[in-house]
């Protein structure tokens, strides 16, 4: 199972979280987010894949930031079109697109990964979970990450969840001691429970 931790901001915390064996670390570049990154931290992941999260941003600005942070993935969390996704992929960046079950079919061929999150006017970070049973309606071929309100108490629900295209989870606000600062002890305990040795 892929583990993505999103909304990282501080160098020391990024290093701590990466040491837990996380697969992807997300950096939010949406100015209205309390987890927005405004400058390059003193430490960036060297093993975990770097994901830049954008909301309705121009392609030129996304590519500029992607080069600055040496990003591995671009995650689009707004109303970006399938054509925009394809354009970014043609520029050499794999794309993760946040979708709903209703919008997923339009993006299947335009994204490398889909992300099902709880719909919110703030474009994520609500800390609220949606009804995962809705995802049984998803019949596409593109693999997806599950997001939205996943907490330390979600272990049993995640281990029970079944879908042929489910490949991982995206963790954020429920593992924080402050916006943008993840609790490595909480994360470590959760990961041990999700993937017991």
Residue 55 CA to residue 30 CA, distance in Å, equals: 6
Catalytic residue among 6, 85, 170, 183: 6
Q: What is the pLDDT of residues 72-86, one digit of tens each?
A: 999 999 999 999 999
Q: Does residue 92 have a pLDDT over 70?
A: yes
Residue 184 CA to residue 40 CA, distance in Å, equals: 21
Q: Does residue 127 have a pLDDT over 60?
A: no
- What is residue 117's predicted lDDT score, i.e. its pLDDT? 84
- The C-alpha angle with vertex 19 and arms to 127 and 123, in degrees rounded to 5, equals 25
Q: Does residue 145 have a pLDDT over 90?
A: yes
Are 147 and 130 in contact, with CB atoms under 8 Å apart? no
Measure Cα distances from 168 to 4, 24, 45, 64, 187 in Å: 8, 10, 19, 28, 15
- What is residue 197's predicted lDDT score, i.e. its pLDDT? 56
Catalytic residue among 70, 72, 85, 117: 117
Q: What is the pLDDT of residues 12-70, one digit of tens each?
A: 999 999 999 999 999 999 999 999 999 999 999 999 999 999 999 999 999 999 999 99
Number of domains within the chain = 1
pLDDT band for position 130 (cuts 50, 70, 90): confident
Tell me the CATH number at 95: 3.20.20.70
- What is residue 131's predicted lDDT score, i.e. its pLDDT? 83
Note if 117 is an active site residue: yes
Q: Which residue has the higher pLDDT, 101 or 24?
A: 24
Q: Kindly state the helix (H) or strand (E) to which residue 99 belongs, with its residue range.
A: strand 95-99
- What is residue 128's predicted lDDT score, i.e. its pLDDT? 63
Q: Which residue has the higher pLDDT, 96 or 147?
A: 96
- What is residue 148's predicted lDDT score, i.e. its pLDDT? 83
What is the residue range of 33's domain? 2-194
The structure tokens 């800390």 sit at 127
Cβ atoms within 10 Å of 46's Cβ, excluding its own:
8
Measure Cα distances from 6 to 9, 38, 103 in Å: 9, 15, 22
Note if 6 is an active site residue: yes
């Amino acid at each position: 199972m892929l583990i993505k931790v999103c909304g990282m901001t501080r160098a020391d915390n990024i290093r701590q979280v990466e040491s837990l064996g996380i697969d992807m670390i997300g950096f939010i570049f949406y100015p209205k987010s309390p987890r927005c990154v405004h400058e390059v931290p003193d430490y960036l992941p060297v093993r975990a894949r770097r994901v830049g999260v954008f909301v309705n941003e121009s392609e030129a600005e996304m590519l500029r930031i992607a080069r600055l942070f040496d990003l591995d993935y671009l995650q689009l969390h707004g109303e970006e079109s399938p054509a925009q996704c394809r354009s970014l992929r043609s520029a050499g960046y794999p794309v993760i697109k946040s979708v709903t079950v209703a919008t997923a079919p339009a993006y299947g061929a335009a994204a490398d990964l889909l992300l099902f999150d709880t719909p919110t006017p703030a474009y994520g970070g609500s800390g609220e979970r949606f009804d995962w049973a809705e995802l049984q309606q998803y019949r596409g071929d593109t693999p997806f990450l599950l997001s939205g309100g996943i907490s330390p108490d979600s272990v049993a629900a995640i281990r029970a969840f079944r879908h042929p295209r489910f490949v991982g989870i995206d963790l954020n606000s429920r593992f924080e001691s402050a916006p943008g600062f993840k609790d490595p002890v909480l994360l470590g305990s959760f990961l041990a429970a999700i993937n017991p040795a």
